[in-house]
Amino acid sequence: TVTYEHILLEHRDTVGLITLNRPEALNALCDTLTKELTDALERLEVDERIGAIVITGSPKAFGAGADIKEMQPKSFADVYLEDFITSTWEAPAKSRKPVIAAVAGFALGGGAELAMMCDFIIAADTAKFGQPEITIGILPGAGGTQRLTRSVGKAKAMDLVLTGRMIDAEEAERIGLVARVVPAEELLTEALAAAEKIAAFSRPAVLMAKEAVNSAFETPLAEGLRFERRLFHAAFATDGQAEGMSAFLDKRRPEFNNR
Ligand code: CO8
């Protein structure tokens, strides 16, 4: 096990649980936190026991954005040359294993962007999402103009990015930003149950399914459909297909070996 300063990393059987843990700054994503998060995700990625990942914060905040104290003195040359913040910040989006964001409280700026880098968001009824960058003289810089627009469309994305207003969990679900809203006290249970469920399926199929859905955002339709069909055909080369279909016909639970 590793010990970090601003996050907690736990193995819950087949699920990797990362808890952002910088309460004094509402989980503002400082340099150390983002590096630790990247490190934890890389460890989980190569850990064969882990089939899915949950990223969560505290009841008060999933993440209040990039650390404004750290950003305040930076110049154009500083941020351009260090490629702030993408160079340290693409880990959740790059992970091949499914990553669920379990969001309670504030998910603002980089915090909302982090949630959107995950494969889907389960929100507590206390969650509040927003891209308030405009209120501090900048604009979203880690997907807030791109992933948000793809998930909720232009009207809502422009509204949120240009006014900086916050939306509650109910509105976030209505516009398609979050997959489910649950009572705050059930958030972690629900997210871990979803992750465990995913982790129990045939792993090649899970990774292919994630890759196929993601290709919908990166390719024209004809290309995406062709890619999906190739993966679909490839799934018939896995043990999971043989086991899953035999188990169905035998009326028993499948036992996947992740091959
Ligand atoms: N950075 C640094 N410190 C923060 C941040 C932050 N983003 N957010 C909160 N804190 C600190 C506060 O300074 C305060 O510290 P202290 O007690 O030492 O004064 C502590 O957390 C508690 O905060 P508040 O007292 O403000 O708590 P409230 O409950 O009154 O308010 C809010 C909560 C509404 C969340 C408020 O803190 C707030 O508006 N925070 C800033 C939100 C924001 O503007 N975020 C966007 C930042 S810009 C950004 O994210 C650019 C993204 C680029 C990509 C980044 C990828 C990592």
Active site residue 133: yes
Instruction: Kindly indicate the confidence band of residue 239, based on its pLDDT and cuts at 50, 70 and 90.
Output: very high
pLDDT tens by residue, 157-210: 999 999 999 999 999 999 999 999 999 999 999 999 999 999 999 999 999 999
Mean pLDDT of the chain: 96
Instruction: Kindly indicate the confidence band of residue 115, based on its pLDDT and cuts at 50, 70 and 90.
Output: very high
Choose the catalytic residue: 65, 123, 133, 194: 133
CB 154 within 8 A of CB 191: no
pLDDT at residue 108 above 90?
Answer: yes
| Residue 86: per-residue pLDDT | 76
Instruction: Kindly indicate the confidence band of residue 72, based on its pLDDT and cuts at 50, 70 and 90.
Output: very high
Taking the centre of ligand 1 as the mean of its atom positions, its distance from the CA of residue 138, in whole angstroms, is 14
CB 181 within 8 A of CB 173: yes
Active site residue 52: no
pLDDT tens by residue, 125-155: 999 999 999 999 999 999 999 999 999 999 9
The whole-angstrom separation of Cα 171 and Cα 166 is 10
Mutate to test the pocket of ligand 1, among 68, 114, 126 (most ligand atoms within 8 A of CB): 68
Please report where in the chains the tokens 């927003």 appear, as a residue. Answer: 130
Residue 99 to residues 44, 56, 185, 206, Cα–Cα distance (Å): 11, 11, 21, 12
pLDDT at residue 89 above 80?
Answer: no
What percent of the chain clears pLDDT 70, i.e. is strictly above it?
A: 100
The ligand 1 site (C-beta within 6 Å) comprises 25-26, 28-29, 34, 64-69, 85, 89, 106, 108-110, 113, 132-133, 136, 140-142
Give φ, ψ of 28 to 5 degrees: -55, 140
CB 86 within 8 A of CB 131: no
